[in-house]
Amino acid sequence: MSYHLPVMAQQCIEHLQIMADGVYVDVTFGGGGHSKLILEQLGPNGRLVAFDQDADAKDNLLEDERVLFAPANFRYLERYLRLFGIRKIDGLLADLGVSSHQLDVPERGFSFRFAANLDMRMNQGNGSTAAEVLAKTSASELQFVFGAYGEVRNARTLANRIVEAREERPIETVADLVEIAEPIIFGKRNRYLAQVFQALRIAVNDEMSALEEMLEQATQVLKPGGRLVALSYHSLEDRMVKNILKSGQTSGEAIKDFYGRIYRPYKLLTKKPLEANAEEIQQNSRARSAKLRVGVRLDSQPPAKNE
C-alpha cells in the first residue's frame, strides 16, 4: 500500500538525537517511513512505540520485537504508555495532518478530486462522518469550522448555503458539497475547496483537541533531555506546537510562580521553524507547507497552584 514519503526525514531523525537503548514514540506511524529510520539507530534494547488510529496503517506494521503498536488516536499517549509499562520516554516525533494515502484513496472522501461519499474519518470504526457533521451542525458552528480551521474567507455565506441546501436533500457525497460551494468560490477554485475540505476534516476528527491533549501529555512523559520533534502543515497546528514549546500550554499563556518567574518546559532548538529545501519540495509536494519545530525537555515543573 502506497503512503507518502516521510517529510524532512533526515532532519527529524537528527534532531531526535536517538540513543541506542532509548524509548521513542512515533505518534503518526502512517506508512512507517519515520519509524523505520528510528529503528535503524536503535539497539536491541531500544523501544519504539508507534501510534496510528487508521486501520490501513496496520498493513505497514514492522516485524520487529522492539516495536509496540498502539492502534489508537495519539490523544491516548499516556494511556498506552502505561499499558506498555513505560513511564518516561527519550523522544517523540509527530508528523501531523492528513497523509497522502488518505487523500489519494477515493472512498475515504478526504479530497474534492474524487467521487465518493463524505466520510473523512481517520478512524473509520468510530465517530461521525463528514456527511453526518454537515447534517447536524448549526450554521454558526459551521461558520466557526470553516473560518477557524480552513481560513475560508466567506465562511458565513458557505455555512448558510449548506444549511439551506440540506433542507432540500441530504449532503452525502463529495460532489454534493462541491456543488454547494461552486457558486460562491472566493479566489482560486482548488485552494478554496482545499480549505473547505481541510476545515471539515479537522472538525470530523476533532484534530485540534486531540493535538492539544497529546502535546500536553508529551510534556509530562518526556524525560529531562528528551526531545519533542513536530512537523506541522497549517498555522493552527504550528501555533499549538510553538506555544507548548514556549510555555507548556497550547494557549501560549505563560505560567508564573509567586515571584513572577516564568515556567519554561523546553529549551527551544528552533526559534523559527525549519522548512524543507527546494530539492525535497520538488520531489515531495507535501513538504512545501511543512514546518519543523524542536524542543529539549528541561528538568523543570510548573509551579504549584497555591504558590
Burial class (CB in 10 A: 0-12, 13-18, 19+), 53: buried
Could you tell me if residue 91 is inside a domain?
A: yes
Residues 25 and 150 in one domain: no
For residue 184, the domain's CATH number is 1.10.150.170
For residue 284, the domain's CATH number is 3.40.50.150
Last residue of a domain, one of 177, 204, 231: 204
87-114 average pLDDT score: 81
> Over the stretch 255-276, which tens digit does the pLDDT of each residue have?
888 888 888 999 999 989 999 9
Alpha-carbon span 50 to 71, nearest angstrom: 8
Instruction: Supply the pLDDT for residue 287.
Output: 87
Residues 257 and 216 in one domain: yes
pLDDT bracket for residue 31 (50, 70, 90): confident
Q: What is the mean pLDDT of the chain?
A: 91
Could you tell me if residue 272 is inside a domain?
A: yes
Residues 256 and 178 in one domain: no
pTM, entire model: 0.90
Min mean pLDDT across 119-128, 134-143, 189-198, 287-296 is at 119-128
Residues 215 and 92 in one domain: yes
pLDDT of 107 above 90:
no
Last residue of a domain, one of 168, 186, 204: 204
Question: What domain range is 135 assigned to?
Answer: 124-204
Could you tell me if residue 72 is inside a domain?
A: yes
Residues 51 and 193 in one domain: no
Could you tell me if residue 107 is inside a domain?
A: no
130 to 58, 202, 227, 306: CA distances (angstroms): 23, 10, 35, 44
Strand partners, 269: none
Residues 95 and 22 in one domain: yes
Number of domains in the chain: 2
Last residue of a domain, one of 183, 204, 225: 204
